[in-house]
Each structure stands twice: as C-alpha cells, then as structure tokens.
Amino acid sequence: MKKHLYLSLIPESLIASMLPPDEFGAYYATGTHRHSRGRAIFFEVSRDIRSDYFHLDEIDKRCIPHPDGRPRKSTYLGVYRVLEHVGRDSLGKIYLVTADGRVLGLNPADEAPQDGKLGLHLYQELCPLRPRVASNLGPQGFGAKLTDRSHPVSVSRIVFCELRLDELAEDPERGKADDLPYASIAHLRDCLVLLRDHPEKQVKVVVRTMPEDFLYRTILGGFYVADASGLTYYPMPELEILERDHHEWERSAMSSLL
C-alpha cells in the first residue's frame, strides 16, 4: 500500500498514513465510527522531503498494515514545530475538510497575486499562530511582516487565509456587515478604524485565537504559506465552480462551521 505524508494544521502535526487524501480527510475529521466531528485542514507533503528534525525512517517501520490487513490510518511523526521544519517546496495540495468529512483539494497557483493599494484586510492565522488579525497590509506584505526574523515577534513560516470584510474594507464605520457572521462586529469596526486612521500600526489582533465563527464561506481569495523566501498561494474556487464541480462539499461547507 502507498504511504502518504500529511501536515495537519489543526492540530499541527506530521502524520504518515496508508489512506489517500480523500479517505484520510474523512477519517481525520469524523473518526472511524463517525461518533465525533472536528475541523480539519492539511497538506500532502512530498515523500522526497529530507529532514533531520523528523524521524522519517520510522515511516516504513511503523506505518504498516494491521494484522488483519486493514491499512494504517495514522502514524504520528511530529506534533511540535512541524510547519517550521517542512519547507514550502515540500508542500503539495492543501485539503479542506468539512465537519462531516467532505474533502476539497486546492492546488498552488503558479504565483501569488501582488498586493494592490493600501487597504483594509482581515486574516485568520492557522498555523503555528491562531489569532484573527486585521491589517492594512495585503497578503504579500502581511506574510513578509510575520516572517521577518529581524522582528522580535515573528515566525519562520506561517499559514493563513484572508477573510471577507465586504463593505467594511472601504468604510469600516458605516459599511454594511449584514452577511458577515463574525461574533463582534462592533469590535471589528473599531480595529479597522484604528488601522485606517493610523496606517503606521499595520496589524491589530481582533481575536486572540481561532474563533468558532470561522466559516469556509468567509474565505476571500484563498490560503497562503509565507516564509522569508516568499509566498505560496492556494486560490479558493469561485462559488459557481464549487456549486458546479464540488456540490457535496459546497453544500456541507457553506451551511456549517469549519
């Protein structure tokens, strides 16, 4: 049986498995007997990865079929500082899994979009940090700031996605926010106004950890992996493409929490 290597973001871990991505995602999100549900986002990692940090030689020793022939679903190889030690060039598709185990895989784009004019943005950091952060930096600038190791508050690598602000992106005080499912719109408005009026500040934490109101339908653009060497972009398909080509995933994802 083929052995796969996955980097889970929630929680951060490196896992070997005999299950292909769709089956692994369903298992990881719902469990063997579907008695529990949980959010899941993971990357497939190249088996050509080289690292002295992980005991990769354990894959062939431990990720073996059960005595009755059933495939080994998960063999943990790391649970600490995993993303830091997996290079961007070793990351394949990112897989988004709904609470009921529907899986959508996204390919990286050939290049990340360039930042436009100064504006307001909302980001959900996914790994290794978890805050929800407002910023007047575009994704390129935001990723570069967080991974600038000359700064005392930084990380070597980070995964994040941009979230919708709708009219708040242009008018944080009076813009409509009726379709935004965030818990405290008033607080969000205050954070955005602060950044608008004090552009030198650049970032403002809105929520200190990943909140439960993180919905796939709030994602704007897609997912990003940033480090000092650059940015990898995983574009999210437009809604009409999801409805046409990934209907079961779209129906599950758009109606429930991640």
Cα–Cα distance between 143 and 158 in angstroms, integer?
8
Q: Where are the domains of the chain?
A: 4-106, 121-253
What contacts 24+ positions apart, CB below 8 Å, involve 176-179? none
Q: pTM of whole model > 0.85?
A: yes
Q: State pLDDT tens for residues 65-92.
A: 999 999 999 999 999 999 999 999 999 9
Q: Do 84 and 228 form a contact (C-beta atoms < 8 A)?
A: no
Q: Which tops the pLDDT comparison, 166 or 117?
A: 166
Predicted confidence at residue 149, as pLDDT, reads 94
Q: Do 87 and 41 form a contact (C-beta atoms < 8 A)?
A: no
What is each CA distance from 130 to 69, 104, 158, 210, 217, in whole angstroms?
39, 22, 10, 5, 19
